[in-house]
Amino acid sequence: MANFLAIEAASDSCSVALSCNGTLISRVEAAPRMHSRLLYPMLNDVMNEAGIRPNQLDAVIFGKGPGSFTGLRIAASTAQGIGFACDIPLIGVSTLQAMAQQAYQEQQQAQVLAIMDARMNELYLGQYALDTNTGLMTACVEDLICPINVQSDALNLLNADHFACGHGLNLWDKFDPSLQSLITQQDAQQVLKADSLFPQALSLFHSGKVLAPENIELVYLREQSHWKTIKQQKQQS
């Protein structure tokens, strides 16, 4: 069986998960702005517990955003370092998709709005619905960034009752009533776990949709802060 390592640092939590021969080993801690201190000890813990080395991994999975720019860079550069050192492919998964997947896995929610505080009076928002054939939460619209007080009609969201998750819900009082009306249940305290990246990532892996370390790209949704691939950086230099 294959071995996969997942790294998630785009949200307020820091988490790693290792799927080793079908056994799941994970670490998660809700600790904003502590990712750089926590990540490497967590990685060492799960690898030591499994008794494997990085070169025995089949792929490294990372949360590609949107989310905390610093956290994204930490997770991606760590995945990239392992990929380069061990000649291992990488797989990026939307942070918002992972949030929705976790809501389905833990609370059996099939229609989800994943909402993160993007700062600067904006939200990162993803609308996801369950694909019953694959068990994956699938995007209804592309992940987006929008003003906190945006009207739902401006986002082309499906008009349905949603479970909402993510720390963006702490800004609830600033939401437009049209967006509030789409949400019937919510979890503002969701702690995103790296193993929630696995379902989407394994689907991509088995479809051959993996990335070479030099080709990874983060999704920050603010164009001026978008982290370009190494190839793109070279082309512009």
Domain boundaries defined on the chain: 3-95+192-236, 96-187
Cα–Cα–Cα angle for 227, 232, 233, rounded to 5 degrees: 70
Residues near 165 by Cβ (< 8 Å), separated by ≥ 6? 99, 100, 102, 103, 112, 113, 114, 115, 186, 187, 188, 190
- C-alpha torsion sign, points 12, 14, 69, 202: negative
Where do we find the tokens 């790296």?
Answer: 194
Which H or E run contains 124?
Answer: strand 122-131
**Mean predicted confidence (pLDDT) in 47-67:** 96
Residues near 84 by Cβ (< 8 Å), separated by ≥ 6? 213, 214
CATH no., domain 96-187: 3.30.420.40
Residues near 152 by Cβ (< 8 Å), separated by ≥ 6? 159, 176, 178, 179, 181, 182
Percentage of residues in the chain having pLDDT higher than 70: 93
DSSP letters, 78-119, are HHHHHHHHHT--EEEEEHHHHHHHHHHHHH--SEEEEEEEEE
**Mean predicted confidence (pLDDT) in 63-92:** 95
Confidence check: pLDDT of 233 > 60: no
Selection from 218, 184, 186 nearest residue 68 by Cα: 218
Q: Say yes or no: do domains 3-95+192-236 and 96-187 share a fold.
A: yes
Selection from 221, 216, 192 nearest residue 100 by Cα: 192
Confidence check: pLDDT of 226 > 50: no
Per residue in 108-141, pLDDT tens? 999 999 999 999 999 999 999 999 999 999 999 9
Classify domain 3-95+192-236 by CATH architecture.
2-Layer Sandwich (3.30)
Where does the pLDDT of residue 223 fall: very low under 50, low under 70, confident under 90, or very high at 90 and above?
low
